[in-house]
Copies of this chain bind each other. A is one copy, B any other.
Amino acid sequence: MLGIREVFPGDSVADLVVNALALGGLRLHVGDIVVIKHKIVSKAEDRRVALDAVRPSATAKKFAARNGQDARVVELALREARRVVRMKHVLITETRHGFVCANSGVDVSNVDGGNTAVLLPLDPDRSAAQIHRRLKKRTGLHVPVIIADSFGRAWREGLCEVAIGAAGMKVIRDYRGKRDAYGYRMHATEEAVADELACVAGLVCGKDTRIPACVIRGYASQGNKGSARGLVRPAEKDLFR
């Protein structure tokens, strides 16, 4: 979705999306899903930090120097973490939301050329719910909303988009107990469809295009409620604790 201008604190992301579509002569339809890269949500919620104002700790400085990273970003990542999962080459943390990702999701790209970092939204599910409600108000439609960020994975190279916030649909499609086309009763199949929808935005939006949102048309989502919290594996099921 082109036509979304630079986002400032206080902006309504829902309005930006609807207006950008209108500029292109488009509008939302019944069944559409809107996927929004988290960075514009963070910008609208003023989750920016000027890097010049960050005083890195000795730990942050040491890790950053050893791994060719910016100590101020490492410092912010440590502050945003509730647990350090791994601090070797890359800083992997568990954020307050429960997400396990690099640098607590703190990122400097697509902000202002390198002077400002952006933190994850405080409560991305709440952000998604707000955008979802505002889209309803603007369009009269029930439009599921997914807020996406790109995370690394434990055993695979490269990043994939995941849903860090969601509203208006079930984030997991549960096939357990259903029969496949051959009559076999499936028992372990829960598909993280919100993450798969987020991945579509990874393909459409890219990283260098100023396309911070996309509309997915034709996917039949289930339910009318849900939150990305449901995609976070609870501690007791974590394979690595």
Contact = CB atoms under 8 A, between A and B. Distances in A.
Contacts of A193: 158, 202-203
A108 B185 CA distance: 10
Given A109-B186, A157-B190, A158-B192, 19 more contacts: A100-B154, A102-B188, A109-B184, A110-B184, A111-B184, A153-B153, A153-B154, A154-B238, A154-B240, A155-B232, A157-B192, A157-B237, A158-B193, A159-B189, A160-B192, A173-B206, A186-B208, A191-B202, A197-B203
B200 A203 contact: yes
Contacts of A195: 156, 158, 160, 199
B184 A207 contact: no
A155 B200 contact: no
Nearest to A108: B184
Contacts of A230: 157
Interface of A: 85-86, 89, 92, 99-100, 102, 108-114, 150, 153-162, 171-173, 175, 178-186, 188-193, 195-197, 199-200, 202-203, 206-210, 219, 230-233, 237-240
Nearest to A156: B231
Contact of A180 (B182, B208, B231): B208
Contacts of A189: 109, 150, 159, 207
B181 A110 contact: yes
Nearest to A89: B237
Contacts of A196: 160-161, 199-200, 202-203
Complex A-B, nearest 8 residue pairs according to Cβ-Cβ distance, in ascending order: A158-B192, A154-B154, A196-B199, A199-B199, A100-B155, A181-B210, A113-B183, A113-B182
